[in-house]
Structure 1
Amino acid sequence: MLKKRYLLIACFFWMLFSCENDVLITFSETNITSENNRIVDVNIPLASQNTSAAKSINSAIEGYVIKTLQIREPNVANLESVKGSIDSFNNEYTDFIAQFPESAHSWEAQIDGEVIFKTPDIICVSLTSYTNTGGAHGVLNISFLNFEAATGKLIDTPKLFIDIEGFKAIAKKHFEASVKDKDLLFSSDNFQLPKNIGYSDDGIILLYNTYEIAPHSAGIIEFSIPFEDAKSYLVFNSF
């Protein structure tokens, strides 16, 4: 009888754990600011569930925002929270104006995000940041964060592929077709995959940020590879 009771308890916890992992994570757009904020606008998707997977995803997204707003060395700025980093960015601007009151440059930071792909296996979040701290022009950056849907674990780009060299060969053909009229910092013979690769409704999206492979005038270079062409190289292909 006692053994049967332990078996029932074990089954209950197994079912509870399984149900938690089977819940498809939902997101809500969240605006984050602080009381004294004047120059930072943050609008990011955060997972709504109170599960370990959702918390892991939110931690990675918030970490991106915190890093983007980093001006000084990591041991100086507030890296505890997004609100703390917003305050630090504002304080840095206040200090700048105090030192250079004649400066006509104003600072700003805009960070936006959206979920661009979601299945029971993988979730891809796109985060776009624009920061200007008084230079000739601001810095625009787009990053893709890929997550295991069941665990919320961030997936390193190489782990998206079964055969990354095979995918690279396919990607090179699509890359060459997309940059025919652009000036590059390297020959297509030395083709390298970008830092940012993600999933989208159009297929696997590859994105080179400004200066990554081309002059500033070329801007961001982005192209997609249809799932039909890429699926044999992908770890996650339930689309």
Structure 2
Amino acid sequence: MKSKLTCLLICFLFIACNNKDTLSFEPLTIATDSCENCTSVRIEIPEATGKTKLSKTINAALEGEIIALLNFDEESNAQNLEEAKEAFLYDYEELNGKFPEESMPWEATIEGNIAFENENIITIKLESYIYTGGAHGYGTNRFLNFDKISGKELYQEDLFNNLDEFKTYAETLFRQQENIPAEGSINNTGFMFETENFYLPDNLGYTETGLLLFYEPYEIASFADGPITLTIPYLEANSFLKYPKKP
């Protein structure tokens, strides 16, 4: 019996170390040829090496996010980054063929980097700027969180011991930061939360300075206001987190 337990323990430790300790990255760049007045795509991200579950999860998540960012008409069947790049170029050429006098060259720039990493969790930030015509492009950040032990991507509900309690606490801090009265609608000073109630952004990520709440442009305010952020220091956030940051 003891030998079986010992064997299981060794296997567990091997799997955990395989996912956690061997994680490494290589730079991956995918770009169009440089030319003047041409539609351009440039993607620079860290690509996880190896064949662990964690590496595969990270690469698949990054690929999925970038394909979605480059998907202009929401009908693309791109299966990888090269196909997504080509689909973006094709969509521009198709639109330019219909409206040549109105079509300025498009641009897509996407850069990824590791925003945070410790023994249990890693957060990768995707910073993007997409221009597909009109008065201005659209820039944003995406934060992807991963459990280094299980090899799984972590979603909002996976990060907190009690999501509702954290939301209540975050609202208090948000009101203080933005000088919104403690009582009354969260939109009293001009924000545009739907249903007049506070909610967490889709984008939550670990950073070196604290847990970052990142509201996209247009998510709760006008485009002119840009992204709205709230950083909660770990000394305050740790009690809510399933993955607290050690001092």
Percent identical: 33
Q: Cα RMSD between the aligned structures? A: 2.9
**Aligned residue number for residue 25 of structure 2:** 27
- More displaced 10-residue stretch of structure 1: 208-217 or 33-42: 33-42
Q: Summarize the alignment of residues 1-239 of structure 1 with structure 2, pairs less than 5 Å apart.
A: 16-33=14-31, 38-74=39-75, 77-180=76-179, 183-186=190-193, 190-239=197-246
Q: Amino acid of the residue matched to residue 207 of structure 2?
A: S
Q: Amino acid of the residue matched to residue 136 of structure 1?
A: A
- More displaced 10-residue stretch of structure 1: 191-200 or 181-190: 181-190
Give yes or no for contact 2:16–2:150 (8 Å, CA) kept in 1: no
CA distance in 2, matches of 1:118, 1:96: 42
Deviation (angstroms), 1:35: 7.0
Give yes or no for contact 2:20–2:120 (8 Å, CA) kept in 1: no
CA distance in 2, matches of 1:230, 1:177: 16
How many residues in Structure 1 have an aligned counterpart in Structure 2?
233
Q: Amino acid of the residue matched to residue 220 of structure 1?
A: P
Structure 1 unaligned blocks of 5 or more: 1-5
Deviation (angstroms), 1:200: 0.8
Deviation (angstroms), 1:186: 3.8
CA distance in 2, matches of 1:175, 1:32: 38
- More displaced 10-residue stretch of structure 1: 21-30 or 194-203: 21-30
Normalised by the length of structure 1, the TM-score is 0.86
Normalised by the length of structure 2, the TM-score is 0.83
Give yes or no for contact 1:24–1:120 (8 Å, CA) kept in 2: no
CA distance in 2, matches of 1:165, 1:201: 24
Give yes or no for contact 1:116–1:199 (8 Å, CA) kept in 2: yes
